[in-house]
Chains A and B, each alone.
Chain A
Amino acid sequence: MNFVAPDFVPVLPELFVLALACLVLVVDVFLEQRQRHITYGLAQLTLLGAALLTLLTYAQAPVTTMFGHYVKDAMGDLLKLFVYLSTAIGFLYSRDYLRQRDLFKGEYYVLGLFGVLGMMVMVSAHSLLSVYLGLELLSLSLYALVATDRDSPVSSEAAMKYFVLGSLASGMLLYGISMIYGATGGVDLQMVADAVSRQGSDNLVLVFGLVFLMVGLSFKLGAVPFHMWLPDVYQGAPTSVTLYIGSAPKLAAFALIMRVLVDGLGSLQGDWQQMLIILAALSMALGNLVAIVQTNIKRMLAYSTISHVGFLLLGILAGTPEGYAAAMFYAIVYVLMAVGAFGLIIMLSRTGFEAENIDDFKGLNDRNPWLAFLMMVVMMSMAGIPFMAGFYAKWVVLQAVVDVGLVWLAILGVVFSVIGAFYYLRVVKCLYFDKPEQSAPIELSRDTEIVISANGLLLVVLGLYPTALMSWCATALLS
């Protein structure tokens, strides 16, 4: 048997990130603490380089490589670009925060970059094995990242919880994969798809495999009832890590579902649609209801994430190209909002003070009107009020479910988004209606200020003119 070297060109960005991540690891060892900004710069450079490589090789038509385990297509490339973007923004926002807390270490960036690599693999996976590989690479990086603040008992507890529950979920996923392998005789998604369309959904092993797979995926996404880890991890992790977990991995999770459920098990749509309806309805309900009683803003945003995941699933479960495009648009807009929200929380923190509670936002309009405005934009966008990008995201997913006749689900969605509006408004209330409880000036470095402004304004610009991004998503999915 001859060994034929696979085509490496489609995986150039992945190879680049891998090489640079290793380089960062090595270089960092030789740096002193005061030179740590070199690590930071290298990490940003890696992301920039990967973005350039991805753009240069932007896929017009899907190409599979690595013996069918890997695919490079427009959807993957688009999502990867946003993974780099949100990670880079996250690195920037958290730089000063980490420095003030003695967490400004090479590990943060190395783990972050390996997480990015894991996400890239997930996004481009074309077999159940590469899906698993990417997912584990991401998860292991995340477990370690949550525990970076070793001396904090909350962080350690969160990391432990995340690790134990995450391993359980990985086990479920693997078990599901093995069943599907048993039923179809392959792990390559194309082979799986062919086999499934031949057999139909009568094969009980296949449906069982799907159920286990679904449990694993829902856990990673944080969909109810597999969401238990999410609030604890969001709250326990240092805010910079929460920012990381809360943003780019959602894009990867979206891709994961698209790959596995749509590309691989598309013929079982009737089965997984039912499951997703339950997951989506429960996530929207529980996420929005429980968020109302939170006083810790990180925990509140964790529950808000759960509800957003429910909305995102609405687009996928519609099972139409418009629905997938809607879900993708939702995922991207959500990531932009999440980065902004956690970024603003980070900016309110300073040496010796951790902004964690909603009350810490009190009177921000008096302290810094511009940041207060940006926070309001992010909150209103999350609530889905027009002239913010979040409205269009909600609208297109609702449109997708109404299209397929699930009007009741759309009504459920809007009712819970009204309930959800309450807790976002409560934050706005703190920003504008309350008097400040502290007067310490908010110091931002120039680049952070520019990027957070661009971040917030982007949500408004997308709110005025969402067409470009929407059609980009639609064309990426069609190719």
Chain B
Amino acid sequence: MLSELPLLSLVVWFPILGGVAVLFVGDENPGRAKALALTVTILSLLISIPLYSSFDPTTAAMQFQEFIPWIPALNANYHLGVDGFSMPLILLTAFMTLLVVIAGWEVVQYRIAQYMAAFLIMEGLMIGVFAALDAILFYVFFEAMLIPMFLIIGIWGGPRRVYATLKFFLYTFLGSVFMLIALIYMYNQAGSFEILDFHKLPLSLTEQVLIFFAFMLGFAVKVPMWPVHTWLPDAHVEAPTGGSVILAAITLKIGGYGFLRFALPITPDAAGMLDWLVITMSLVAVVYIGLVALIQQDMKKLIAYSSIAHMGFVTLGFFIVFGIYRHTGSLSGAVMGIEGGMVQMVSHGFISGALFLCVGVLYDRMHSRQIKDYGGVVNTMPVFAAFMVLFGMANAGLPGTSGFIGEFLVILSSFKASFWIAFLAATTLILGAAYTLWLVKRVIFGDIGNSHVAELKDVNTREIIMLSLLAAAVLLLGLWPDPLTSVMHASVDNLVQHVTVSKL
């Protein structure tokens, strides 16, 4: 019975409709709006669970497919489906949105209904991005996502919010329009907008290179990769806590997901030829951005730069495949790279989200994000300090936390391609530990910095619930990653086999 329900449509549209309903409840009834928003997010999380429980991990084929003709004239269809790449990310989205709603509960005072509605609609659109199997449907969700985020940063953001949100919007928009041209071009060759048809489409090397760059522009901005990362620190710093969480935890993942779904399988030869470029950009992100993070004075900015560095690992893991294949001729190492990247994406979703929530907790009390305004928080907020230390350790990649698994897998697979790539990537273990632990040390430990810190109240039940959920996720994934990796094995194998076969 469960399999007959259009489960994916439900997961996509339920939060969107819920968001509209919250809008109609309106700002006049903040209590009811909040309660409704919470109900909607909990229900969305619940209805997305069957995606995991009924998921067949033995196949790389798309599951839970739905197919309705949408624009027959252009052969664009409402085609949804998930595989081992998208399904975990959908669950992550539903989970993080729930946390965002909890996080905004007492904190957001201005236009709370619109705030909650924006996040609910955002949730539906992001899930739509992951579930879409039609390129135009994907593009529609991908672009539509910009609107709620634009409003979230612009309405509830900090002092420089207008600059930050415009920069965010225009950067991403510029990146993605070229992708639209590439999609239209491929439609002319393939006769449909099915992503899976694009995977099989034979393309000459020149075409592949151009299309690859179009995808690069779109997804590299989203990830974001050095040197198109500059919107991220601005957006993160100015965004409200919830906005930062969603940006870091989900929207960055959409860039990574785009590489897996589009760039690698559609243009494998171009990707193989240009993998040095992406790997270089990833290593620059890991090393240089790691150094940049070290000198940040603003907590949110520091975490933002740390996000860029960690996402460098994701792209490194995805593109190391070609090097391994060339070097060893075997596919098994390549599988590890992509799997590492995927685990890193999910884990970074938890950890960065958690760190932004921690900063949010502090900011709500002190209204400052400057590291120098803190010090000795552990004395007044011991419970909070425990959480923050845990998430800091996870960010530094401590074994036993989820942060370790992804980084370890990627470094291990890099070794098979080249010692030096692995060496540079491994510097993150030092740099990541340095900037994160130094942050924790300056904020949490030491003597009480000033009188404001002395008056701090420890986290309340709401915040404890929110942080414990994340702590549980981080530890669970770190100690027992199998539930995540087992669902994506088949998809990763399939992808690696696909990209190592030339399309020429």
Contact = CB atoms under 8 A, between A and B. Distances in A.
A255 interface: no
A376 B173 CA distance: 17
Interface stretch (B4-12, B71-79, B198-206, B471-479): B71-79
20 contacts: A365-B111, A365-B155, A391-B143, A392-B71, A396-B74, A398-B180, A398-B184, A402-B181, A402-B188, A407-B185, A411-B181, A414-B181, A418-B170, A426-B166, A428-B150, A428-B151, A432-B151, A467-B73, A470-B73, A474-B73
Interface string A411-425: 100110110011001
Interface residues of B, number: 35
B161 A433 contact: yes
Q: What is the interface of chain A mostly: helix, strand, loop, or mixed?
A: helix
Interface string A392-405: 10011011001100
B35 interface: no
Interface stretch (A56-64, A81-89, A144-152, A380-388): A380-388
A104 to B, nearest CB: 35
A426 B154 CA distance: 11
> Chain B at the A interface: mostly helix, strand, loop or mixed?
helix
A320 to B, nearest CB: 12
A411 B155 contact: no
Interface of B: 70-74, 111, 114, 136, 139-141, 143-144, 146-147, 150-151, 154-155, 161-162, 165-166, 169-170, 173-174, 177-178, 180-181, 184-185, 187-188
A368 to B, nearest CB: 13
A3 B144 CA distance: 61
Contacts of A407: 181, 185
A417 B161 contact: no
Contacts of B71: 392, 466-467, 470
A101 interface: no
A387 B144 contact: yes
A411 B178 contact: yes
Contacts of B185: 402, 407
Contacts of A396: 74
B177 A414 contact: yes
Contacts of B141: 386
B187 A399 contact: yes
B61 to A, nearest CB: 28
Contacts of B139: 386
B395 to A, nearest CB: 32
B170 A410 contact: no
Contacts of B114: 365, 369
A40 B404 CA distance: 73
B169 A386 contact: no
A387 B161 contact: no
Given A418-B170, A418-B174, 11 more contacts: A387-B147, A391-B143, A395-B184, A399-B187, A402-B185, A403-B188, A407-B185, A425-B170, A428-B150, A428-B154, A433-B154
B171 to A, nearest CB: 10
B139 to A, nearest CB: 7
A196 B111 CA distance: 64
Given A386-B139, A391-B143, A418-B170, A432 B154 contact: yes
Nearest to A399: B184
B265 to A, nearest CB: 22
A326 to B, nearest CB: 10
Contact of B146 (A365, A385, A432, A466): A385
A54 B166 CA distance: 46
A351 interface: no
A386 B173 CA distance: 11
A255 to B, nearest CB: 21
The 9 closest A-B pairs by CB, nearest first: A414-B177, A386-B140, A433-B154, A386-B143, A387-B144, A418-B174, A402-B184, A386-B144, A467-B71
A471 interface: yes
A371 to B, nearest CB: 14
Contact of A471 (B73, B154, B173, B184): B73
Contacts of A428: 150-151, 154
A210 B33 CA distance: 62
Contacts of A421: 169-170, 173
A422 B73 contact: no
B185 to A, nearest CB: 6
Nearest to B172: A418
A392 B144 CA distance: 13
Nearest to B145: A386
A403 B184 CA distance: 8
B181 A410 contact: yes
Contacts of A392: 71
Contact of B166 (A385, A402, A429, A467): A429
A433 B180 contact: no
Contacts of B155: 365, 432-433
B170 A422 contact: yes
Nearest to A380: B147
Contacts of B173: 385, 418, 421
Nearest to A329: B73
A426 B165 CA distance: 11
A365 B114 CA distance: 10
